[in-house]
Each structure stands twice: as C-alpha cells, then as structure tokens.
A and B are shown apart, each in its own frame.
Chain A
C-alpha cells in the first residue's frame, strides 16, 4: 500500500477568493464591535487588531484571509478618529503579515501529521478489505513502465517482492500461455481506447499452480489523449469458477436423474399451474410427446391429458392431485387411469405433494407416477380367481349340505321301516313283504347316491379310469333303449340310426351309463306318454348320439348350470338324488375326448347330445 497514493487529499485549502471574503467578514465584525463599544472599553483601537488576525487565520481562514484582515484592520487603525498615527498601523501591518504566515505554517504542519495518521489507518482498512475480497491492486506508469503491485497481486502471480521486476513484463510472464495472446490484445485495445480493460484470464504460477483472475483497469490520459497511467484491480475468481462448475454439474446431475427416472415426474408452478417439467416416463404413461402434452398446458387447461379415477369417471382439471397440491398444499396418493390418444388405458399409482419455500409458501407441486397396469391386471385376475374359487367353495359347501340331506332321507326311511317291522315282529305279527320291498328300494336309492358321489369324487380328483374296448355304439344304444322300453311301456322310445355297426374304442360300461342317464332324464323331465327319440348320426370325424324329449325345455341359465357339479339345474318336484348325473356324463365324455351339450328353449323340449371322435374307431384286422 505504501507504493500507492490513492487516498484523496485530506485537507484541501479553501479557494483564495473565499479566503478573502472570510477576511473581510471577520474584519468587519471586529470593526463594528470596536465602533460600538469604544467609549466603554476605553482602550486603544490597536489592541483588538492582533486578536482579529489570529481569529481569522485559525478559524477556517488560510493565508489570504489573514492578509485581508491585516490590511483592512491596519487601514482602519490609520483612519480611526482621533488617531492619525501611521506608526502603530505599520507595526500592526508587519506583525499581522508575519503572524498570518506563522499560523499558516503551523496549521500545515498539523494537517500533515493528522493526514499521515488517517492515511495509514485507511490503508490498513483497504488492505484488509482487498485481502478479504481476494482483490489485488495495481498501478502502471506507462511512459516510465513502472508497475506497482500490492502484496495480494504478488500472491496471485506466485512472486515475492524480490523476483518482481516492477515492469509490465512481470504481468505478461505470469499469464497462462494459452491466455497470453488474448490478454495482451485486450490490453492493447484498452490503451488505444477501443475497449474497457476488463478481462478474465488464467495465470500460471512458477510453482505450476493455475488461478483464474478477473482484471479491471482504468486508463488515464494526458491532454493529447495519450495513455499515461493505468490502475486497477485483479480478483481471484478460481473458487467462484469452481463453484459455478459444481453448481452446473449438480444441476445436470439432478436433471438427468429426473429425466431418466423410471417414474413419471410432473412439476407445475404455483400459482399459475404452468407445467414446468414433465419427464419422458410421464409422457410415456400418458401416451404423448412434449409437443402435444406439455407446451402451453397448465393445470387449468389440462385438457390434453385424459385422466380418470379407477371407476373411469373423468377427473376435472382443477380436481387433479397436482392442482390441489398447488392450490391448497394437499398431499395425496391415489391410483389414476391415463387414457392414451390411442384409447389404451394405463393404470398409474400417483403421489403428489406441494413444494414449499423456507417460509412455507408454495412454489410448485410435484406428482410422481408409477405405471402399475400389469400389477393391477394381475391383482384383478387374482381377485376374480379368488372369487371363482370362493364361489366354488360355497357351491361345494352347499353341495355337502344337500348331499347330507339326500343321504339322510333314505337312511331315515329305511331305519323307520326297519324299526316298524321289528315292533311288528315283537308283537308276533306276520312279516310285511311290502315293507321289506320299501326298505330295499330305499337302500338301492342310498346305494346309487353313494356310487354317484364316489364317481364325482373320482372325476373331481381326475382318477376315474376308463377301460377301452372295441364296441359297437349302435348295439349299446339299442340295448339301453330296450331296457327303458320294458321299464316304461307307456313311453314310445324310437331309435333312428343307419344300418350296420358303429365300431369305436370306448369304455362300454361308462358310455352305457351316459346313454342311460340321458334317456332317464328325458323320461323324467317330459310329460307322461310323450315320445322319446334317440338318434345316432355318423359324421366324417365323429359320431353323434342325441336324445330328444318333449319336455318343458330349459332357459340359457339353466343350460349353463346343467353340467356343473353341485348345482341343480331345476327344482323340479320329481328331482331326487344329487343332480350329479350330467356332471358325471360330461366327465366321462371328456375322458373319451368327446363333447356333450344341449339344445333347448323353454316350451320347446330339450335335445341332449354327445359327440365321440372317430379316431378311437376300431378297425378290424383283415377287413
């Protein structure tokens, strides 16, 4: 700092005219006082004169004020009434001039001493501020090429006072080679007045350390405009540069994370609701691009985003979680459906929250989406599978109830009949053959139920085994038909079939069971005396057997339930047993790779049929 003189002149003397005026004023006042108080003071008019001089000189006076007062007061002493002595006035004049000179000299000395002290203090302060702000100060006398640097400058350039040449080449040498040409160019241009001297450049210290400096300078020129002096500052901005770089890296890092986030992210500004940021994942869920979904879209005009709740009810823009977060600071998590422009629906789990400043006011709202369409589908499938399973469980439980009831009924009847017989025998009455027959019928019924149950159980567990034999289906159906005709002589049972045998590989006992079951049902569920038609049709790949009745027919719902286990198709009065017949039939036909079905409508009778594939057709060797 000692090398610079940037401190302004501490105490500048007043302008001479102002000093003279001051001298006139002070003299005037003294003369006025003397004139008024003359008689009472009764002293020589010369006495106050030196006082006037001293007062004038000291209090804001200066050389010219002192001289002016001396001259005026001396002249006053000369013309004072009753005086007329020129000698005291001359003496006064001489002493006044000398006194003024003496006072001025003393004052200057005092000023100098005070100024020095203040300069040193200011310099210390400035030095401290400069160091704290990482500022170095320089001054360059251009004609003499004298460069003056403060300690901070030396530090920047990695020099000590001894190795500093004091010429501008110290600066030129310190610049990083890569920035040298450019920096020198800026200096030249500044000297010729083309630009301000303002420059960012790197210095390469002798130790190899690199710093980034920012230089500002001012060029002083003489009256011809030639540069005579430059002075200015260097500031170390290495740290700032690094911070800026770090900030930019951090910004890029978070931007990349948000952009590449697998979750959709949407940020809307408060309070405008303008969409500030929408990442590709969010666009992907909504099924659009930035152009169609983001540009100029605010929450209040979200129209291009088609969003509904889980029941498919469209959500008004102002009711969207993001809008609520921005408006009232609501935090929410909910499932939403995005309808893409293609009409495809995506289910997303969304979480929304307001973003607040440190004072709590809302700056924006952020929503995060995760596409859960597949999981949601799976959940729905699982829950519907569970419903199916639960319904099957309920059906089974109901079936068990029915089975228990159906089994108990013949047991009760047989038991009561037996007890009755027992009592009759005890009483010595004769055995009632009729009762014994009744018992037998009930036990047969029980036995059939048990067989059916076992068969269903086997089918249910997939353990029913077939014993294939080459069988003529025509003979099988014909035999079964004859048996029923004998049992029900009042029913007309006719069989329509092409002549000749229909040889197939099948389990004759099981297929007989199916045929018998279908005929039995037809008889049971049609009016007494009405005919039953049986038909055997041979197609190219399969053989069809059908039973047509003239019964009440079945509704679609009734047809659907017909073949399932544990569900009775009708609550017909004649129905007894467990209604397992058709379920067992379906199982047996399925094991033969065939199909079973019914064509029916209420009031139109029913036609039950099954198809058996011919691939099981039996080929006699040699024929």
Chain B
C-alpha cells in the first residue's frame, strides 16, 4: 500500500502495555514506522539517538518521567520539533494538553478513527 521510502516515522510514548501494543499494531497497519517508549525518559533517549519523527503521541501519566516533564525537556532540548499529540485520561484533557503545550489531544478512551483524523490533520493523508 505504501512505498517503504516514504513511510513516516512516529514515536508513541505510553506506559500501559496494551494501549501501546494496540497503537503500534494499528499505526503499522496504516503504513507508519512506529517507535515506542514506555515513559518520557525512554522517549527522550530515543530522540537523542534517532532523527526527529514526523509526530509524537504522548501519554501524560507515566512512571519515571511523565508527559509534562517530557514536554518541558523536549522543548528545551530540541529546536526543530515534531508536533505532539497528548493522550490523556484526565477529565479536563484539553487543559492538560495546553499545560504540556501540545499541538493536539486525544481524550481516553478514544477510537482508532479519532487517531487517524488527528494524524491526517498534522501529516496529511498517508
């Protein structure tokens, strides 16, 4: 369906194994190259060692380094930044996204279609 050379790279940072697994499986089936991290710290390490992905999906509540801490470090460390979409289970998801200065947000639970439309908004049709 997709030319391997034009595959877009995504980074998904999420501590809940099943959510991470579902997102990775779905996004790969949609033709993305998906890297995963279980917390913010792992995410930063990945970014240090790899080129900037096209987009980052970020969970907020995570052990070791949460979404807020990651966002702060990310903004401080990188000048050329990929858009960040926050995934949160908090009641006021939009406010949390604003706190993290994210580009978009997904309130948990969300559907696969919702992810898709967010991705298209930032990356265009795959």
Contacts and interface: CB of A to CB of B under 8 A. Distances in A.
Interface of A: 401, 404-405, 408-409, 411-417, 419-420, 423, 438, 441-442, 573
Contact of B109 (A415, A423, A438, A573): A415
A408 B25 contact: no
Interface in B74-114: 89-91, 108-112
Interface residues of B, number: 20
Given A413-B19, A417-B18, A573-B64, A404 B112 contact: no
Interface in B31-87: 61, 63-64
Contacts of A411: 108-109
Nearest to B24: A420
B2 interface: no
A423 B63 contact: no
B31 to A, nearest CB: 14
Interface string B5-22: 000000000001011011
20 contacts: A401-B90, A404-B89, A404-B90, A404-B91, A405-B89, A408-B89, A408-B108, A409-B19, A411-B109, A412-B109, A413-B22, A414-B18, A416-B26, A416-B109, A417-B18, A417-B21, A419-B22, A420-B22, A420-B112, A438-B18
A508 to B, nearest CB: 35
Contacts of A401: 90-91
Contacts of B63: 573
B29 interface: yes
A414 B21 CA distance: 11
Contacts of A414: 18
Contacts of A408: 89, 108-109
A438 B16 CA distance: 12
Contacts, number: 57
Which among A408, A412, A441 has the greatest number of chain B C-beta atoms within 10 A? A412
Given A416-B112, A423-B112, A573-B64, A409 B22 contact: no
B25 to A, nearest CB: 6
Nearest to A445: B18
Given A413-B18, A573-B63, A419 B25 contact: no
Contacts of B112: 416, 419-420, 423
A290 B30 CA distance: 95
A412 B89 CA distance: 9
Closest 6 CB pairs of A and B: A416-B22, A408-B89, A413-B18, A412-B109, A412-B108, A573-B63
Nearest to B61: A405
Contacts of A442: 18
Contacts of A438: 18, 21
Contacts of A419: 22, 26, 111-112
A233 to B, nearest CB: 101
A438 B29 CA distance: 19
A423 B64 CA distance: 34
Given A415-B109, A415-B111, A416-B19, A409 B89 contact: yes
Given A411-B109, A416-B18, A442-B18, A405 B90 contact: yes
A401 B90 CA distance: 7
Given A405-B61, A416-B112, A442-B18, 4 more contacts: A408-B109, A423-B112, A573-B63, A573-B64
A419 B89 CA distance: 18
A417 B111 CA distance: 10
Contacts of B61: 405
A507 to B, nearest CB: 35
